[in-house]
Chains A and B, each alone.
Chain A
Amino acid sequence: MEAILKAALPGIILIVEALVLLVVALLHVAYTTYAERKVIGHMQQRLGPNRVGPRGLLQPIADVVKLLAKEDIVPLGADKGLFYLAPFISLVAGATSLAVIPIWNRFVLADVNVGLLVILALSSLSSYGVILAGWSSNSRYAFLGGLRASAQVVSYEVAMALSLVGVMLMAGSMNLSEIVKAQISSPFKIYALPQIIGFFVFMVSAIAETNRVPFDLPEAETELVAGYFVEYSAIRFALFYLAEYFGMVVMSAVAVTCFLGGWAGPFEVPGLPFFWFLIKLYALLFFYIWVRATLPRYRYDQLMGLGWKVLIPLALLNIVITGGLKLWW
């Protein structure tokens, strides 16, 4: 019995760690929605949610309870299996990326050698949720949203992957912990300075990849009602909502690890090894919200033009410059 326990212990620890990470991430996601409403409210001279609990702090919990209690409607003529499956694909592909991100020096669930590629692979899979939701709903609006999403995600994925190549070149590794360590030992401490073009391309394409304003054409409510999830209700709608914010958190976390030096900071905070990681993460999440409050939506051809004619050439230029500097310096 003891032998079995001993053999199973690493697995049990891993499962417990994964659960803790998931719960913490879910809380972050829930309160990102609260922060978004509050911040945008103040930016637009409003108060934002302030009824449920002190300063409206219990609003996300009330929202979850409300969404759970609503009726789950499947439209007539929808492809039932895919309709049920689509939100889960979105959510799982978004959440799984958290496993390879090092929160601090000794905490990373899966320390894989090709961590960066795993993140790219999972973000490319998450587009299936959107595309399938659009198709299986049997609705014109949803279908158009799905079509737009597939074109947008495919084009911006290229720019995103290319913007990360500079980081790979500088760090000489695709393991995310190694990338953070390489940044700490580099003269700049963070790659956002020498990789400023890469950082810019990554941030822009990350916004497009998560379908956020100003690139939220797949769900543009003034044109497509709500795009791919127009037919979804109750808990399945909540899953899509969660997936969008999970995507935001994951993309910000990737930017923190690849460009902003991960867990490292100007001084160490005793007892809180994740302090600087979270500070940087919150700063980037605030940036996402700020962008949403500031910029109007792009037109579809402008979006495609920006992706293919500006971001991809910029990312390629960045690779050439980084490679050249690495070779001759």
Chain B
Amino acid sequence: MEKLVFGYLALAILVSALLVVFSRNAVKAVLWSLVLFLHQAVLFLTLQAEFLAAIQIIVYAGAVLVLFLFVVYLINLREEITWPRFLSAYPLAFLAILFLLALSGAALSGFRPAPPKGILTAGALLAQGHTRILGEHLFREYVLAFEAAGVLLLVAVLGAVVLVRRIREEGR
């Protein structure tokens, strides 16, 4: 049963990811990535990671993709602009993909899951709940890294605002 569910999820994720790339319509592409994210969340659920599954939906499906849709709406692309191929050597890409597949196949065949280290065994995770453990580690041990990441993101946001303001003022 578990294998069946995993098989379905893996297949659905792969197919929807391909559909994201191949969709002619930008809105459809965003929606296929919504399907992709939902399946990913269920995959987290089968691994008992409820918190991650919920965050996946809230952040990616609920916020990021809605913003994507917003942008796609604003530029209002009903159909993709068709363009003549600008690379004549595109068959070489298939060769690269073939090599990539061979490489990842070789890497995966030698894959062994690492044994749990320290106190974070599967049993301890289940007993305490992911949310608590994640919070404790994030805000105690790794609080410096967490804050640094927060400041970096803030800088990026401020940078974007400054850039947009400058363009507007020049336009005036």
Contacts and interface: CB of A to CB of B under 8 A. Distances in A.
Contact of A117 (B31, B51, B61, B74): B51
Given A121-B57, A154-B70, 13 more contacts: A82-B27, A114-B54, A117-B50, A117-B58, A124-B57, A128-B66, A135-B73, A143-B73, A150-B66, A150-B69, A154-B66, A157-B62, A161-B58
Interface size of B as a range:
20 to 34
Interface of B: 27, 31, 34, 50-51, 54-55, 57-58, 61-63, 66-67, 69-70, 73-74, 129, 131
Given A117-B51, A118-B54, A146 B73 contact: yes
A153 interface: yes
B172 to A, nearest CB: 20
A147 interface: yes
Given A114-B51, A114-B131, A150 B58 contact: no
Chain B interface, >50% SS class: helix
A113 interface: yes
Contacts of A114: 50-51, 54, 131
Nearest to B76: A143
Interface string A126-145: 01100110010000000100
A127 B73 contact: no
Contact of A154 (B50, B63, B131): B63
Contacts of A117: 50-51, 54-55, 58
B57 A128 contact: no
Name the prevailing secondary structure of the A interface residues: helix
Given A112-B50, A121-B57, A174-B131, A151 B62 contact: no
Nearest to A134: B73
Q: Which 8 A-B pairs rank lowest in CB-CB distance, beginning with the nearest?
A: A124-B62, A117-B54, A121-B57, A114-B50, A121-B58, A114-B54, A121-B54, A150-B70
A124 B34 CA distance: 12
Contacts of A150: 66, 69-70, 73
A57 interface: no
Nearest to B62: A124
Nearest to A119: B54
9 contacts: A113-B131, A114-B50, A114-B51, A114-B54, A117-B51, A121-B57, A121-B61, A125-B57, A154-B67
B66 A113 contact: no
Contacts of A157: 62-63
Contacts, number: 62
A289 interface: no
A170 interface: no
A120 interface: yes
Interface of A: 82, 112-114, 117-118, 120-121, 124-125, 127-128, 131-132, 135, 143, 146-147, 150-151, 153-154, 157, 161, 174
Contacts of A121: 54, 57-58, 61-62
B15 to A, nearest CB: 17
B66 A131 contact: yes
A161 B58 CA distance: 10
Nearest to B129: A113
A113 to B, nearest CB: 6
A266 B154 CA distance: 47
A115 to B, nearest CB: 9
A120 B57 CA distance: 9
A157 to B, nearest CB: 7
Contacts of B63: 124, 154, 157
Given A113-B129, A121-B62, A131-B66, A147 B57 contact: no
A153 B58 contact: no
Contacts of A118: 54
A125 B55 CA distance: 12
B61 A147 contact: no
Contacts of B57: 121, 124-125
Contacts of A153: 66
Nearest to B27: A135
Given A112-B50, A154-B63, A154-B66, A147 B73 contact: yes
A153 B62 CA distance: 10
A187 to B, nearest CB: 24
